[in-house]
Structures are given as structure tokens and as C-alpha cells.
Structure 1
Amino acid sequence: MEFPSNESATSEVERALSVLVENTEDDAALDALAGSEVLVPVPDDTDDDTAADPTTVALPVLEQDGETPLVPVFTSELRMAELLPYVSRYRLVPLGALASQWPTGDLSLTIDASSPHGLTLNSEGVRTLLARPRG
């Protein structure tokens, strides 16, 4: 069995994001997105033991006055560098697994925020749209 290269997987996820910008209920695009891996920046204040623990992911939460806090994730190092050029550490995490463990409350997820296909989902959208069983 041949596995796609990282570049191929990234472009598949970007295509899914582009479809979802137009139609957030496209099942094929949601399945592709939920089955993809994303880069989650490791917050600067995360200690080395926590950053290295494969069972824990420290979420980088961006907060602005009057806005819902959000967690940025990215489809590639290039997309991450466009928005957060000083990030030195990140974790590669299956998006569906991240969504299935998404905290309750007001916390949004933004995927490739600086790109034309960027997508932001509120907390409920993350849990209902991306925490999908894969079949």
C-alpha cells in the first residue's frame, strides 16, 4: 500500500477546507478534514515534559478583548509560519481526535486562519462536525 506524501495530504486538506468555505455541510470534505492531521503550536509556557508527553496536547489559546478565545491549528509548516512565524515547537495531531476531546464552553478552532481557505468553527461546530466516526 502506498501512502500519500505530506504535500499531497496537505493539498487534500486544503481542497476540503476550500469546499467547506462554501458549504460547511459537505460530508466528503468534513470526512477528509476530520481524518487529517494538523499542526498544533506548543505554547511557549509549556514545559518540556508536557510538550513531549504523547498523551497530552497543550492547546495554544489566543485571546482578544470581546472575542471568543480560539485555538489556531495549521495544515502545514508554511501556513503556520505565515501567521505565527516565531513558533518553535508544534505537535502533529489527528484533527478528529482533537475534536472528540474538545473542551466544552466558548473555545473556537481556526484552521489555517491566514489563508484564503481558512475555516473557523465554534466549540459546538468542532465537536459535531469534526469529531466524526470514520467509516
Structure 2
Amino acid sequence: MTDTAIGRTVTDFHSQGGGGSAAQQALRAVVEGTVDEAALSTLARSEVLLPTGTDAEGPAPKALTLPVFEQEDGTELVPVFTTQDRMEQALPQIKRHRNVVLGVLAHGWPSERLSLVIDAGTPEELALTAHGVKELLDREET
């Protein structure tokens, strides 16, 4: 991953057309380069799904633990998803998740080494460095 705040990982983002949730529309605007403050605020206020584990049984974890996936190049990333369908497509083995507000997650982002990937494997997939997470999603109003 480069030092840029935003990394576009999917180039064919026009193929899906319009529609989707407000969060997905805001994501699309960021990916397409037509983002404005309203879209960033919408994205920051959006609730996303944070994968928490493969075990569907037992109590949900009380502490928020970020799922960190390491890429072949050593990049460490945390995936979040705008819908359960998108999470299940990308990570079919994951059976549990926690709902978190993206801006709140960004406000407490724990490390300069961690990247965030929103909706991995979709045309709106967005990869952000830690700097990008703070710059784009850590909003006062969340």
C-alpha cells in the first residue's frame, strides 16, 4: 500500500450503477472522486459491521477487538462492511459481527500501521491508510 490516504483497489466501480444504502452511495462518491463534505459526514455517521469471529454460539464478546488481516506484502488491515451480505461474500467463514459507527471507530483508531478496508471485494471497496482513516472519517459530529 502506498502512503496516500486513499487506495483504490477496484477500478470497475461504474458497473454496479446507482442505488444502495446511504453509506454505499457515500463510498461510491469517494471511490469515484466526487466526494464532498456531506458524503464524508454520511460515511462517518454510518453503522458498519465489524467481523468478530467464526463461532456463532456463545455470548458476544464484550470488548471491541479489531480483526486484523495481514496481506502478503505485510500490510495489516481491518475490514468493515456496510451490509451483512457484503461481509458474507468476502468472509463466508465469519459468523459474528459487531455494529459500530465508522466515525467512532476512526476516532479511536489504534495504530499508524493499520489500514481500514470498507466493503472488500465490491466495486465500492475503499482502502484507507491510518492517516486516511483519521483525515476522512474522524468527524466531530459522530
Structure 1 residue runs of 4+, over 3 Å off?
none
Counterpart Cα distance in 2 of 1:24 and 1:104 = 28
Tell me, yes or no, if structure 1 residue 96 matches structure 2 residue 103. Answer: yes
Mapped to 1, the partners of 2:93 and 2:34 lie a distance apart of 31
Write the letter of the residue equivalent to 1:52: P
In structure 1, stretches of 5+ residues that fail to align are 1-9
Tell me which of the two structures has the higher relative contact order, counting C-alpha pairs closer than 8 angstroms and 6 or more residues apart.
2
Match of 2:113 in 1: 106
RMSD of aligned Cα (Å): 2.0
- The answer to whether 1:17 aligns with 2:24 is no
Displacement of 1:86? 1.2
**Structural mapping, 1:108-123, within 5 Å:** 108-123=115-130
- Cα distance between partner residues in 2 of 1:67 and 1:115: 22
Q: Distance in 1 between matches of 2:69 and 2:103?
A: 21
Deviation at 1:22, TM superposition (A): 1.8
Aligned-residue sequence identity (percent) comes to: 48
1:10-68 Cα deviation digits (max 9, x unpaired):
611110000000227521111000000000000459xx67x431xx3111111023241
Q: How does 1:67-86 map to 2 (within 5 A)?
A: 67-86=74-93
Q: C-alpha separation between the residues in 1 aligned to 2:67 and 2:34?
A: 24
5+ residue gaps, structure 2: 1-19
- What's the TM-score once normalised by structure 2's chain length? 0.78
- The reply on whether 1:62 has 2:69 as its aligned counterpart is yes
Distance 1:25 1:44 in 2: 35
- The structure whose residues are more often strand, as a share, is 2
Q: State the Cα distance separating 1:117 from its structure 2 match.
A: 0.8
The answer as to whether partners of 1:37 and 1:75 remain within 8 angstroms in 2 is: yes
Q: Does 1:41 align with 2:43?
A: no
Which residue is equivalent to 1:127?
Answer: 134
